[in-house]
A and B are shown apart, each in its own frame.
Chain A
Amino acid sequence: MDQFVQQVVTGLSIGSILLLVALGLSIIYGSMGIINLAHGEFVMLGAYAAWMFQQFFGLGLFASLVPIFLVVAAFGWFIERYVLSFLNNRPLDTILATWGVGIILQQAVRLLVGGELRYVQMPSSLADSTNLLGVPVSAYRIFLFIAAVALFGLTWLLMNRTTIGMKLRAIVQDRSISASFGIDARRIYSLTFAYGAGLAGLAGALVSPLKSVSPEMGTGYVVDSFMVVVLGGVQSLAGTVFSSFILGEVSGVVAFLQNDTVAKALVLLAIIVLIRFRPDGLFTARIRA
């Protein structure tokens, strides 16, 4: 029984990290249709920002979360404004452009701060483990779970309960008609991209105490994020949540019964088979095409 609970909790934890990392991609991909291959590098920038705030300003992780969000969001805004906005309705070029941005970011970080692994300290209040339902769980992983759910809630509110969110949804439905109602699509797109990038940065900062910080760290995250978004269904925030936790539980259980190599292969295979039969993912939002 204990082992079962342990495994469920592990799956939830893996899922919450997936959700954290995929949320920003889901917003950008879902609402703007941009396949952002630089997403992993935004995650990496967030982790490096956490390291820099700690190294040069002596700020702990909690204190630097808001500045990290703002810094990476500002960066995302810049990229949208001066690169991607020139490539409207050219999805293939956008893929290439974001890929290039990703490479530039990786090398820039390497040139500026060096290629070695960096260390971000875990907040000492969360460094130990606690008991949850009779099984020992890392306190920091519980915090990550709460953070992921909170950020999802915030994003949902932003999309569904604010004017900006309403305008964004209108643009997603039909860009030209919403423009004729006086919605400034360019501005909304820039803000959305900035918000998605900021979320990715936050995710990078939050996972960095559990994992490692290096210029290439984004590569793994961008693959995971796309798996989550593709499985969950584009344009469905709820789908992102469900697919994160499904992937977390499945890969956790398979890794426990077999090993992580098998888990990775099986999960990828399952997603390929699934999108063969449900090309839009598990949850499809109804929109006018």
Chain B
Amino acid sequence: MKGAAAFGAFAGTGMPHIWMKNTDLAVAANGEIKVGVLFSLTGTTAIIEESLNKATILAIEEINAAGGINGMKIVPIVEDPASDPATFSEKARKLVVGDKCVSVFGSYTSASRKAVLPVFERQNNLYWYPTLYEGRECSKNVIYTGAVPNQQQDDFVPWLIKKFGPKFYLIGSNYIYPKEENNYCKKLLEKHGGQVVAEEYVPLGHSEFSSVINKMRSSQPNVIFSTVVGDSVVALHRQYRAAGLDPEKMPMASLTTSENEVAAMGGEAAAGHFTSAPYFMVHKSPENEKFVAAYQKRWGADKVTHFVSESCYFQTYLFKQAVEKLAVSDISPNAIRDAVKGAETIAPQGKVRIEPANLHSWLWPKIAQAKSNGQFEILVESPEWRKPLPYAAYPGQECTEKGLVTN
């Protein structure tokens, strides 16, 4: 009986839908476009992923307030993957298969990106990944808007050697990202006449650095090259300062210390150390002033923006640009990917572009020094944007439009 009633209703009102192709696949129905937002709100990496969620939501709200995309509203479906790769994969499937999202913005750690990758490749959907990462990936179902090793290190390492000396102490958290970054760093050191005095990895979440600091004291490197992540960064900086080491003689040069971590460790522990990234909160540009003001107005005046939340923000605008070019009936993950190839936007860091061949982003490398007021001072700005080379550490391999090519 119920079935017959439903059929009646369908016949009465739903008839025209029969003639629309792929009714149940329509991703832009009723003037709405559904996207997934997949950042952890609980668990260990929630500390940082919460800010990524906030930056993404801010951009979506701004776009909707300005009239949406061709009159359609973006509807964010927020899921909490709880910092757990298995949950990431499960929630990604839910967003793609269940909610029929046309794209998903998500992930901070490489582990979580690797976990959701099979879902997006099998369902042929699109994942927007905002984090700086180790490269060595060439998926056609991911848009990478964070920096890869060549964009963070090509300027940084020679500059450090020239300014402080050739002896590097490599310290990182014990997982794939720091190892790949150090792998590239060692190649650059070899090329520019530097040397590695130690290469060491501490467990994730480690907070007792006294023995590491003793080793730094006895091996006397010129630079401590740090890819320690998360709350360990805070512990390392605070204990380095408490132990009386001097950033002027033995500075830490980091790829992972952002305004977010500096706020937690306190300006006095961060002061004097260096970070290389495409974006800093103090960067002077009208787009950045607007971004920072909007972010603080929406989420609180004490909040900071940083190099991952900035990517979250501009990648949402790139998504908008891509969808804008498409007719409503054509909106699909594949069409969005093709539309975003070569797309450009003025991001807070400067003009960025999605490289058509590898779907990574052209970005503006910068080197900055932390100040005791909790902000950075930008010392070196690359005069030109830098091409993303996700396989820079692996000569003979290249990510092209057809996929990974090995020469």
Contact = CB atoms under 8 A, between A and B. Distances in A.
Given A10-B211, A140-B242, A260-B208, A212 B265 contact: yes
A136 B201 contact: no
Interface string B227-238: 000010011001
Contacts of B206: 260
Interface in A234-258: 251-253, 255-256
Interface string A256-268: 1001110110000
A261 B202 contact: yes
A214 B218 CA distance: 32
Contacts of A217: 231
B373 interface: no
Given A216-B44, A220-B205, A220-B207, A116 B231 contact: no
A116 B230 CA distance: 11
A123 B268 CA distance: 12
22 contacts: A3-B214, A7-B211, A7-B214, A10-B211, A13-B210, A107-B42, A110-B42, A117-B261, A119-B264, A127-B268, A136-B243, A138-B244, A210-B239, A211-B231, A212-B207, A212-B231, A213-B264, A256-B214, A260-B200, A260-B202, A260-B203, A261-B201
Contacts of A219: 205
Interface residues of A, number: 47
Contacts of A149: none
A129 B200 CA distance: 25
B265 A119 contact: yes
A10 B214 contact: yes
A255 B203 CA distance: 11
B260 interface: yes
A260 B211 contact: yes
B215 interface: yes
B264 A116 contact: yes
Interface of A: 3, 6-7, 10, 13-14, 17, 107, 110, 114-119, 121-122, 127-129, 136-141, 209-217, 219-220, 251-253, 255-256, 259-261, 263-264
A107 B263 CA distance: 22
Given A110-B46, A260-B200, 7 more contacts: A114-B50, A115-B41, A116-B264, A122-B266, A127-B242, A212-B238, A214-B231
A116 B243 contact: no
Contacts of A110: 42, 46
A251 B209 CA distance: 11
Nearest to A103: B42
Interface of B: 41-44, 46-47, 50-51, 174, 200-203, 205-208, 210-212, 214-215, 217-218, 231, 234-235, 238-239, 241-244, 260-261, 263-266, 268
B264 A117 contact: yes
A4 B110 CA distance: 39
Contact of B210 (A115, A213, A216, A252): A252
A136 B218 CA distance: 12
A17 B244 contact: no
B243 A14 contact: no
Contact of B266 (A107, A121, A255, A259): A121
A127 B268 CA distance: 10
B276 to A, nearest CB: 22
Contacts of B203: 260-261, 264
Contacts of A210: 235, 238-239, 242
